[in-house]
């Protein structure tokens, strides 16, 4: 009797297994993996949800890990689309060429980096040069920039984060490609943007940067001036779109070669007016038509 | 005939199971050596071990792990200084002093402590310990080596307590009876007789606890701040070897220099834990010869 039961269970499992793998094979082209930048992972997740509402058999997996992770995954064939908050670097492109792959780049939105401090910090604005000196530990006390007599604690993201690279290129190196300047070794490398917000909200000494999608009411956002000027701007969507706020950047999706099939449909969707509406809803900045 | 055949087959299966652990350790070590060796050939051992700058994503990339080694050792040392006295005292209390009811409760609580996942400890530490340390010691940030040490001390405690408790309990009754017969007080007996006889076991417990601490990743990552500057005190933020591997392995491309640098870090870690285990083994053997 027990043996018969055992066989029935076994056969049922076998049938389920076969039927599952059968359906999987049919819909192979309808699963899509998207990996990369933590900055836009929320945005792409909303895109993926809305897009798969119209495509019932479609399975989209969206995971973060950092821009570098996305590029590596694209090369290792573990994802179809890489999310990036910076452009692919020369050595990444070279490595792709060695494997006969070509990155195809799409600008899908804009992002600004907000510089955050604790609510009790009296400092309201910084020039981008002051910001640079702070993160290179040339300025180490808040009183040097008009604040209280407190040491400055630097909060940065991990080096695999697109945000880290962007800040380094646009603030630390002030867009000078020949510059070899680096973050101070004293900068704390935090594992996530949320960890930066958490530390700033309870530490009056801290300063850090996050994507404007991450701005929170528990912290204070500083106004920043562009290089060589003293007119300060808040990282609002308008200021980023008009190019007034200096620490802003494009956001990218990358595919391996010209996209086809469902991948192409997805990218077309993100660039459509409907897709760009999602960009605004998730606190990023849409691309204007003349940007394209 | 048939029975003998089954016997020999089962014997072989058991032999295979036994040998598998060895095979895996050898394979892992071989893999680490291979990748690490490529890296040392390309980059240089001394530049790697004694280098003070860790800028893996700059071009050209700089891989100096000196600050990370110091960070790992500092956090571990701090954890040992907290966990060792506390752990041994707890073990003594459980095995020698506590009344039976208290002993059972305490023992099961210590065992429960070992079951707390490290990420939970790290999270609790981040939310409660970090702000507290900043205000209590009036330092710029609570994300310091000291916070890491406290969290790790919690993780090493159960190992130290349960193994040294075993060691203390295996001290023969006749030793204690002899001491009492000579007129020694309870404290004199514990200090001069029990602790002395159990010492090899206690040292092994400490080493195993430290081995666990130096390999721990997530909890440390969340509370030490991860700044790769060489710390000047235990109240500075530090970055450990394990945290570096954990945060950076995602971005590396297989076969690249950065990928191999992380394996070289693994090799450094492996060497450190190997030395610790070796010392622990030495003491354990000494113990078993005595008993």
Q: Say if residues A118 and A204 touch (Cβ distance below 8 Å).
A: yes
> Strand A153-157 and strand A188-190: pairing?
parallel
Q: Which of 197-256 (A) contact B at CB < 8 A?
A: 198-199, 202-203, 205-206
Q: Is the predicted pLDDT of residue A154 greater than 50, yes or no?
A: yes
What ipTM was predicted for this assembly? 0.75
Average pLDDT over residues B164-186: 91
Average pLDDT over residues A141-149: 92
Asked whether the beta carbons of residue A206 and residue B141 sit closer than 8 angstroms, the reply is: yes
Percent with pLDDT over 70 in chain B: 97
With residue A249 as reference, give the H or E element that holds it.
Answer: strand A248-256
- Collapsed DSSP state (helix, strand, coil) of residue A33: strand
Alpha-carbon distance of A176 to B165, in angstroms, equals 62
Asked whether the beta carbons of residue A66 and residue B251 sit closer than 8 angstroms, the reply is: yes
pLDDT confidence bin for A249, thresholds 50/70/90 = confident
Asked whether the beta carbons of residue B248 and residue A158 sit closer than 8 angstroms, the reply is: yes
Q: Say if residues A127 and A228 touch (Cβ distance below 8 Å).
A: no
pLDDT confidence bin for A15, thresholds 50/70/90 = low
Q: Which residues of A touch B59 (CB under 8 A)?
A: 89, 91
Alpha-carbon distance of B39 to B32, in angstroms, equals 11
Residue of A nearest to B246 (CA): A191
Q: Say if residues A224 and A174 touch (Cβ distance below 8 Å).
A: no
For the segment B20-56, what is each residue's pLDDT rounded down to a tens digit?
Answer: 989 998 998 899 899 888 899 888 888 998 888 888 8
**Own/partner pairs, A6-11, CB within 8 angstroms, 24+ separation:** none
Alpha-carbon distance of B100 to A202, in angstroms, equals 45
Q: How many CB contacts within 8 angstroms connect chain A with chain B?
A: 92
Q: Which segment of A22-31, B58-67, B172-181, B215-224 scores lowest on mean pLDDT?
A: A22-31
Interchain CB contact of A160 with B (< 8 Å):
yes
Q: How far is CA B234 from the centre of its chain?
A: 18
Alpha-carbon distance of A101 to A93, in angstroms, equals 9
pLDDT top residue among A244 and B57: A244
Q: How far is CA B189 from the centre of its chain?
A: 31
From the list B227, B251, B254, the residue facing A189 with the nearest CB is B227
Q: Say if residues B36 and B260 touch (Cβ distance below 8 Å).
A: yes
Q: Say if residues B159 and B208 touch (Cβ distance below 8 Å).
A: yes
| Count, residues in chain A | 292
Residue of A nearest to B67 (CA): A185
Environment class of residue A89 by beta-carbon count within 10 Å: exposed (0-12), middle (13-18) or buried (19+)?
Answer: middle
pLDDT confidence bin for B9, thresholds 50/70/90 = very high
Asked whether the beta carbons of residue B226 and residue A190 sit closer than 8 angstroms, the reply is: yes
Residue of A nearest to B240 (CA): A189
How far CA B253 is from CA of A77, A100, A196, A251, in Å, comes to 12, 15, 27, 22
The secondary structure of chain B in percent helix, strand, coil, rounded to multiples of 5, reads: 80, 0, 20
Q: Is the predicted pLDDT of residue A30 greater than 80, yes or no?
A: no
Q: Which residues of A touch B253 (CB under 8 A)?
A: 71-72, 75-76, 92, 95
Query: What local confidence, expressed as pLDDT, does residue A10 receive?
Result: 56
Asked whether the beta carbons of residue A189 and residue B256 sit closer than 8 angstroms, the reply is: no
- Collapsed DSSP state (helix, strand, coil) of residue B144: coil
Q: Is the predicted pLDDT of residue A290 greater than 50, yes or no?
A: no
Asked whether the beta carbons of residue B252 and residue A72 sit closer than 8 angstroms, the reply is: yes
CATH number of B66-290: 1.10.3720.10
**Whose CA is closest to A38, among A154, A163, A155, A156?**
A163
* In chain B, where the domains are located: 2-50, 66-290
Environment class of residue A9 by beta-carbon count within 10 Å: exposed (0-12), middle (13-18) or buried (19+)?
Answer: exposed
- Within 10 A of B183 (CB to CB), how many other CB atoms are there? 7
Residue of B nearest to A91 (CA): B59
Average pLDDT over residues B96-124: 89
Average pLDDT over residues A183-191: 89
For the segment A107-122, what is each residue's pLDDT rounded down to a tens digit?
Answer: 898 888 899 999 999 9
Asked whether the beta carbons of residue A65 and residue B141 sit closer than 8 angstroms, the reply is: no
Average pLDDT over residues A147-151: 91
For the segment B180-209, what is each residue's pLDDT rounded down to a tens digit?
Answer: 999 989 889 988 899 989 988 898 899 889
| A224: alpha, beta or left? (left if phi > 0; alpha if psi -120 to 50) | beta
- DSSP single-letter state for residue A143: G
Interchain CB contact of A98 with B (< 8 Å):
no
> Strand A206-211 and strand A219-221: pairing?
unpaired
**Mutation test of the interface with chain B: which of A199, A201, A204, A205, choosing the one with the most B Cβ atoms within 10 A?**
A199
> Strand A31-36 and strand A59-63: pairing?
parallel
- DSSP single-letter state for residue B97: I
- Within 10 A of A264 (CB to CB), how many other CB atoms are there? 12
Alpha-carbon distance of A241 to A109, in angstroms, equals 10
Average pLDDT over residues B122-148: 90
Q: Which residues of A touch B231 (CB under 8 A)?
A: none
Percent with pLDDT over 90 in chain B: 39
- Collapsed DSSP state (helix, strand, coil) of residue A114: strand
- Single pTM value for the model: 0.74
**Own/partner pairs, B253-257, CB within 8 angstroms, 24+ separation:** B253/A71, B253/A72, B253/A75, B253/A76, B253/A92, B253/A95, B254/A72, B254/A76, B256/A95, B257/B39, B257/B42, B257/B43, B257/B61, B257/B63
Asked whether the beta carbons of residue B142 and residue A203 sit closer than 8 angstroms, the reply is: yes
Q: Is the predicted pLDDT of residue B71 greater than 90, yes or no?
A: yes
Asked whether the beta carbons of residue B141 and residue A66 sit closer than 8 angstroms, the reply is: no
Q: Say if residues A193 and A95 touch (Cβ distance below 8 Å).
A: no
Asked whether the beta carbons of residue B248 and residue A198 sit closer than 8 angstroms, the reply is: no
Rg, chain A, Cα only: 23
Q: Is the predicted pLDDT of residue A206 greater than 90, yes or no?
A: yes
Q: Is the predicted pLDDT of residue B152 greater than 70, yes or no?
A: yes
Q: Which residues of B touch A92 (CB under 8 A)?
A: 253
Q: Say if residues B171 and B198 touch (Cβ distance below 8 Å).
A: yes
**Own/partner pairs, A270-276, CB within 8 angstroms, 24+ separation:** A270/A47, A270/A106, A270/A108, A271/A106, A271/A108, A274/A50, A275/A47, A275/A108, A276/A109
**Mutation test of the interface with chain A: which of B242, B253, B256, B257, choosing the one with the most A Cβ atoms within 10 A?**
B253
Asked whether the beta carbons of residue A188 and residue B251 sit closer than 8 angstroms, the reply is: no
- DSSP single-letter state for residue A124: -
How many CA atoms, within 13 angstroms, populate the side-chain half-sphere of residue B62? 14
- DSSP single-letter state for residue A171: I
Beta-strand (E) ranges in A93-205? Answer: 103-118, 125-127, 153-157, 188-190
Asked whether the beta carbons of residue B248 and residue A159 sit closer than 8 angstroms, the reply is: yes
Average pLDDT over residues A231-260: 87
Q: What is the largest CA-CA distance in chain B?
A: 79
Residue of A nearest to B131 (CA): A202
Q: Which residues of A touch B250 (CB under 8 A)?
A: 65-66, 68-69, 72, 160
For the segment A52-101, what is each residue's pLDDT rounded down to a tens digit?
Answer: 887 777 888 888 888 888 898 888 888 899 999 888 888 888 888 888 88
Query: What local confidence, expressed as pLDDT, does residue B291 receive?
Result: 45
Residue of B nearest to A74 (CA): B253
- Rounded to 10 degrees, the C-alpha dihedral B278/B283/B284/B289 comes to 130
**Mutation test of the interface with chain B: which of A185, A205, A208, choosing the one with the most B Cβ atoms within 10 A?**
A185
Query: What local confidence, expressed as pLDDT, does residue B70 receive?
Result: 93
Alpha-carbon distance of B112 to B102, in angstroms, equals 15
Q: Say if residues B151 and B122 touch (Cβ distance below 8 Å).
A: yes
Q: Is the predicted pLDDT of residue A22 greater than 50, yes or no?
A: no
- In sequence order, the β-bridge partners of residue A107 are A252
pLDDT top residue among B171 and B57: B171
**Whose CA is closest to A220, among A115, A126, A119, A125?**
A119
Q: Say if residues B201 and B163 touch (Cβ distance below 8 Å).
A: yes
């Amino acid at each position: 009797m027990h043996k018969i039961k055992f066989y029935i269970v076994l056969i049922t499992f076998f049938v389920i297994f076969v039927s599952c793998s059968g359906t999987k094979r049919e819909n192979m082209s309808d699963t899509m993996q998207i990996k990369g930048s933590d900055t836009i992972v929320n945005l792409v997740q909303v895109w993926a949800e809305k897009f798969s509402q119209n495509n019932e058999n479609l399975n989209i997996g969206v995971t973060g890990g950092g821009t570098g992770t996305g590029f590596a995954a694209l090369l290792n064939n573990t994802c179809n689309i890489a999310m990036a908050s910076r452009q692919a670097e020369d050595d990444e492109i070279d490595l792709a060429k060695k494997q006969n792959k070509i990155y195809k780049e799409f600008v899908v939105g804009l992002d600004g980096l907000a510089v955050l401090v604790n609510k009790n910090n009296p400092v309201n604005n910084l020039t981008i040069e002051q910001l640079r000196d702070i993160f290179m530990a040339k300025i180490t006390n808040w009183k040097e920039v008009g604040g209280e007599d407190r040491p400055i604690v630097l909060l940065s993201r991990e080096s695999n984060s697109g945000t880290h690279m962007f800040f380094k290129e646009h603030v630390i190196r002030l867009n000078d490609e020949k510059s070899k300047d680096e973050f101070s070794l004293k900068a704390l490398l935090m594992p996530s943007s949320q960890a930066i917000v958490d530390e700033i909200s309870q530490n009056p000494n801290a300063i850090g940067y996050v994507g404007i999608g991450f701005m929170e009411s528990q912290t204070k956002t500083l106004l920043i001036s562009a290089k060589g000027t003293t007119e300060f701007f808040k990282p609002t969507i308008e200021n980023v779109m008009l190019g007034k706020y200096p620490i802003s950047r494009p956001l990218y999706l990358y595919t391996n070669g010209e996209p086809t099939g469902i991948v192409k449909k997805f990218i077309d969707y993100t660039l459509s007016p409907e897709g760009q509406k999602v960009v605004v809803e998730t606190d990023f900045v849409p691309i204007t038509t003349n940007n394209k | 005939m048939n029975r003998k055949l089954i016997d020999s087959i089962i014997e072989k299966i058991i032999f295979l199971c036994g040998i598998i652990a060895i095979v895996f350790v050898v394979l892992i070590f071989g893999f680490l050596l291979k990748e690490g060796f490529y890296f040392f050939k390309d980059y240089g051992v001394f530049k790697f071990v004694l280098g003070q700058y860790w800028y893996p994503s700059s071009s050209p990339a700089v891989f100096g792990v000196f600050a990370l080694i110091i960070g790992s050792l500092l956090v571990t040392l701090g954890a040992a200084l907290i966990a060792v006295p506390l752990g041994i005292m707890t073990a003594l209390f459980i095995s020698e002093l506590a009344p039976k009811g208290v002993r059972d409760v305490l023992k099961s609580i210590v065992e429960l402590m070992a079951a707390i996942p490290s990420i939970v400890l790290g999270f609790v530490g981040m939310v409660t310990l970090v702000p507290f340390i900043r205000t209590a010691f009036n330092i710029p940030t609570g994300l310091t080596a000291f916070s890491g040490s406290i969290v790790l001390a919690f993780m090493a405690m159960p190992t130290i307590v349960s193994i040294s408790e075993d060691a203390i309990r295996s001290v023969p009754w006749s030793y204690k009876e002899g001491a009492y017969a000579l007129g020694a007080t309870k404290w004199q007996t514990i200090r001069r007789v029990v602790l002395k006889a159990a010492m090899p076991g206690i040292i092994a417990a400490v080493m195993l606890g430290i081995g666990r601490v130096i390999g721990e990743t997530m909890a440390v990552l969340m509370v030490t701040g991860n700044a790769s500057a060489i710390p000047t005190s235990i109240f500075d933020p530090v970055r450990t070897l394990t945290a570096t591997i954990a945060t950076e392995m995602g971005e590396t491309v297989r076969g690249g220099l950065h990928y191999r640098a992380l394996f070289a870090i693994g090799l450094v870690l492996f060497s450190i834990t190997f030395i610790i285990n070796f010392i622990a083994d030495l003491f354990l053997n000494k113990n078993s010869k005595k008993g």
